Structure 1
C-alpha cells in the first residue's frame, strides 16, 4: 500500500509514491518535462493557470501508476506541497475567475509597504510576524482595487495547494500554516487577522474553512477519481507550502532545527518557539507545519538568498566547462580564499536579506595575470557559501540558536567546498539527505496518525547520504569570509 505526494512548483509538478510500511520511495515523476507556461502581461507580473497544475498533476499520476503497476485502490492517502504565496480565486461554481497571481509576481509590493506603514511596524511585527509585503493578502487587495468586477464574483480565495485539494475532492478548505504564509493569520489572537482584512477592505467570508495540517482534510470524490485516477474516498491527509514542506522532508520540526536548500535560490528555514520578531523586514515568519492553536508555537523563520545556485549556473553556461563536477574539480585546485578573488553573488534581483537592495554580482581583486577559471569557480562557491553564513548571522540576531542543520542533496550541497565552508564557519555539522518535496509530502500523509518518531526514522533510514563536519582549522575560512564581508559592506554603504 502507498501514499501519494504532490509538489506543485511554478516550473513543474512532481508526484511521488512511498511505501506505507517503511516510507521508502518507489519513484518520482515530473510533468511537464519542460517548464510550465508563465504569463507576464506587464513587467514584474507572473501568472499561471490553476487548471494547468491540475492537468499536469493528473498526467503525472497516470504515468507514475503505470510505471510501477499501481492500481487506484492501492493509494491510501494523499499529501500536497505547493508553491507558496500564490492567489487563486474561484466563483460559486468552483471555476477560477482569473489566472493565479503566483509567488514571484511583484505587482502588490507598494500595497504591502503602504499597509506596513499605515498599520504600524510594531503591530505588524507583533500580530502578523511580518510586513504584509507582497504576500497573498496584498495580491487580493490589488485585485479589489484593479479588477473590481472580478472581486465581486469571488466566492473563496485559495492558495495553490488548496486548489489542487479542491479539484480532488470538491471541498474548499485551507490550513493555519497556509493562511500565515498569505499574511492572513494573527498570531497574537491566534485567529484570522481581522484587522488586516478590515484595513484592506476584504470580506472575511472569502476565507476558506480551516482544517488541521495533518489529518482528514477531505476525500477524493467521483469527479476527482475520473480525472485523477485516484479512487473515490481516498483521504487527503496533509497540505503545506513548499518551504515548510521542505523542512518537514528533512525532519525539521523543533526549535533549533534548521533546513537549508541550495537550488536556483537558497533558503535557510529555522524553527523556533518564539513569537519575537526583530528582523521582519529581512526574515519571513510563518506557522510551521506542526503549529497548533493553544500549544507552544512552532514558527518557521525563512530567509531567502536569491543569488545562490543561479550564480553557479551562470558560470557553467559562460565558462568553457561542461559540468558542475568539472567546475568543482577546478575549484578544488585553488586554496581557501581563492587567492584573493572575491565574488558577491547577488545578481538575481533585490535581496530581501539586504533590505531589498539590488547590489548585483561583483567580482573583485581579479588579477588578469595570475587568476583563471579555477579561481572563478572557487570564488563563486565561497561567495555563495558566505551569503548563507551571512544569512545565518541574521537569523541568530533574530533569536535562532541552531542545534542541527539538515540539507537536501541538491546542486550546491553536492559541492565539498560549499558545504565544508558553511559547516566550518557556523561551527555546526550539516546532515545531507537525498529527498524531495514530493517524497516528503507523501510521507507526511502518514502523520495523521501522529507518529513523528517513525517519520524521522524513515528519513534517516532511507535518505541520509553523509554529514559534513566543521574543520578544526577555521582561520583561513574566517579570513576569507571577513574579506568578503568587507567588500559587501563597501557596496552596501555607497
Structure 2
C-alpha cells in the first residue's frame, strides 16, 4: 500500500493506493485561510498537522488494515508558501501563502536584478517565496533575524513526519532561489534576500527517498514507523504525475479554481519575458512549463454568487452544443493575472453589455473569456519554445461539455477527456511514494489514464472565435490604461 498526502489551500487530502495503483480510499480535512489585511493570505502551519491527523483518522475508519501495510508515502502541496522556522524548530509566524500579494514591491525589486531571471528562468512574481522573505526583513526584522530554515508547506509537513528538512526540485523551483537549469540552490540569489544555504532544506528529486516516518508521528497516524517518504512535488507537478503528463510534449489544461496549461519538457526551456513558468518536474532530468490563469472556474463561481445560481446550473443553461460567440466579452482578471501579463493590479471586466444581455449571455462570456485566457497561455508557451498538438482537460470545468467544446475550438486542437477517476495531486503523490519505496521506473508508474472521449474543434465556428479572441486581446491594454 502507498499513501499520498496532498496539502491544498482549503483541505488536506489523504489517498491510499495498492501496488496495482488502484485507489482504495481517500479522506480529507478542511483548512482555513486568514486574511488579516487586504492582499494578505496566511495559514497556520500547525493546522496542516492537525488536518493530516484528522484525514488519516477518517481513512482509518474503513481502511485501518491497509494503512498498517503502507510501504511508501508521497507528499504534494501548494507552492511558494514561506514557512519560517527558528533554531528550536518552532514556527516563527503564519505561513505567507501563494496568493498573498503584499510583497509586490519586493518582487519588482528582485525581478529588476538580472540574475534572478537568468538563473531561475522566471519572473519574480509577488506570490513566490523570495520576495516574502525580503518583505519580512523590511517589515518584521525581529522575526526575520530568527529564521533558521525556510520551508515550503509540504516540506514543513515532512519535517513533522520525519524530523528532517528536505525539499525537492519542482516545489523549490517556485521560490526564486533555485538555479532551475542546474537544479541547485544559488548562493547569489539567496544573498540578495539576506539568506544563505544553511537556511535552506537539502534537495532531492521528487522520486527519491527524503526521510522516513518517525515513531511518534507513526503512532499518531496509525502507520508503521520507518516508512520511506518520497521527495514528492509541488501541486501542479504532482497532478502531472497523477495524469501521466511526464514525457516531452504531453500537456494538460486544468480548469480548476485557477487555470493551468501544463506542458512536460525533456529539457530546460526558460523564457521569462513570456510570463510562462519554467520549473523542474518531479522526475529526474525533466522540466515543465506552465501558463497560469488566476481565476478560471473561480470566475464562474463569482458569477454564481452574483446571480445566486449554482455554477452547474449556469453552464446547463448554455445547452450541449457550442454556438458562435456573442457580443459580450469577459476578462477573467478578478485577482489580477500571471500569464501573459504579470499584472497583480489589473481587474476583470464585462464589455459589450446591452439590454438583450441576459444571464446566459454573461455565462457564455465567462466561459469564452477563460478559454481565451488559455489561448493566451498557449501563445506564451509557443513563444517559450513549446508547441502543443492536443491537451487533456482536467478540473471541475472539464465536466462542462460546453466549456470543453469552447476550449477545443479556441485552442484549435483536440481536447481529451480522461475516464472517470481521481488523477489529481494526491494520486500523483502516492505514485511518487510507490516509486521511492520500490525504486520503480518513474515513467512505467506515471502512465496516462485512458481517454473516455475526445472533443474536436468546431471548424465552422473557428473564424468567429478567432475574431472574438482578437477583440478580447484588445481589451487588456484599454482597461490597463483606464486603471493606471
Q: Return the TM-score normalized by structure 2.
A: 0.91
Query: Does the 8 A contact of 1:347 with 1:360 survive in 2?
Result: yes
Q: Deviations over 1:153-200 (max 9, x none)?
A: 333221111111111111221123232211221245553111112222
1:130 counterpart = 2:122: yes
* Alpha-carbon separation, structure 1, partners of 2:16 and 2:219: 20
Which residue, out of 470, 480, 489, partners 2:457? 470
Q: Deviations over 1:99-148 (max 9, x none)?
A: 2112112222212211222x22xx33321112333321222233333333
Q: Identify if the C-alpha distance between structure 1 residues 45 and 366 changes in structure 2 by more than 3 Å, giving closer, same or farther.
A: closer
Query: Does the 8 A contact of 1:16 with 1:25 survive in 2?
Result: yes
Q: Identify if the C-alpha distance between structure 1 residues 333 and 26 changes in structure 2 by more than 3 Å, giving closer, same or farther.
A: closer
* Alpha-carbon separation, structure 2, partners of 1:465 and 1:107: 43
* Alpha-carbon separation, structure 1, partners of 2:180 and 2:6: 27
1:302-381 paired onto structure 2 within 5 Å: 302-319=290-307, 321=309, 323-332=310-319, 336-356=323-343, 358-368=345-355, 370-381=356-367
Q: Identify if the C-alpha distance between structure 1 residues 359 and 160 changes in structure 2 by more than 3 Å, giving closer, same or farther.
A: closer
Secondary structure of the 1:346 match is: coil
Q: Identify if the C-alpha distance between structure 1 residues 145 and 9 changes in structure 2 by more than 3 Å, giving closer, same or farther.
A: same
Q: Identify if the C-alpha distance between structure 1 residues 334 and 233 changes in structure 2 by more than 3 Å, giving closer, same or farther.
A: closer
Return the offset for 1:430.
1.9
Q: Identify if the C-alpha distance between structure 1 residues 109 and 291 changes in structure 2 by more than 3 Å, giving closer, same or farther.
A: farther
* Alpha-carbon separation, structure 1, partners of 2:144 and 2:346: 37
Q: Identify if the C-alpha distance between structure 1 residues 222 and 429 changes in structure 2 by more than 3 Å, giving closer, same or farther.
A: same
Q: Deviations over 1:397-432 (max 9, x none)?
A: 121111441232x22111122211222232322222
Return the offset for 1:333.
7.6
Which residue, out of 59, 72, 76, partners 2:54? 59
Pick which of 478-487 and 397-406 moved more: 478-487
Secondary structure of the 1:171 match is: coil
* Alpha-carbon separation, structure 2, partners of 1:238 and 1:74: 20
1:152-163 paired onto structure 2 within 5 Å: 152-163=145-156
Q: Identify if the C-alpha distance between structure 1 residues 144 and 371 changes in structure 2 by more than 3 Å, giving closer, same or farther.
A: closer
* Alpha-carbon separation, structure 2, partners of 1:354 and 1:404: 24
1:7 counterpart = 2:2: no
Query: Does the 8 A contact of 1:281 with 1:355 survive in 2?
Result: no
1:17 — aligned with what? 16
Secondary structure of the 1:74 match is: coil
Return the offset for 1:453.
4.3
Q: Identify if the C-alpha distance between structure 1 residues 371 and 177 changes in structure 2 by more than 3 Å, giving closer, same or farther.
A: closer
- Return 5+ residue gaps in structure 1 as ranges: 293-297
Query: Does the 8 A contact of 1:86 with 1:160 survive in 2?
Result: yes
Query: Does the 8 A contact of 1:79 with 1:441 survive in 2?
Result: yes
Q: Identify if the C-alpha distance between structure 1 residues 66 and 337 changes in structure 2 by more than 3 Å, giving closer, same or farther.
A: same
Q: Identify if the C-alpha distance between structure 1 residues 152 and 357 changes in structure 2 by more than 3 Å, giving closer, same or farther.
A: closer
Which residue, out of 449, 452, 455, partners 1:460? 449
Secondary structure of the 1:61 match is: helix
Query: Does the 8 A contact of 1:113 with 1:131 survive in 2?
Result: no
Q: Deviations over 1:357-405 (max 9, x none)?
A: 644332222331x342222222221121111112211211121111441
Secondary structure of the 2:472 match is: helix
State the Cα RMSD in Å.
2.4
Query: Does the 8 A contact of 2:122 with 2:271 survive in 1?
Result: no
* Alpha-carbon separation, structure 1, partners of 2:229 and 2:245: 22
Q: Identify if the C-alpha distance between structure 1 residues 387 and 43 changes in structure 2 by more than 3 Å, giving closer, same or farther.
A: same
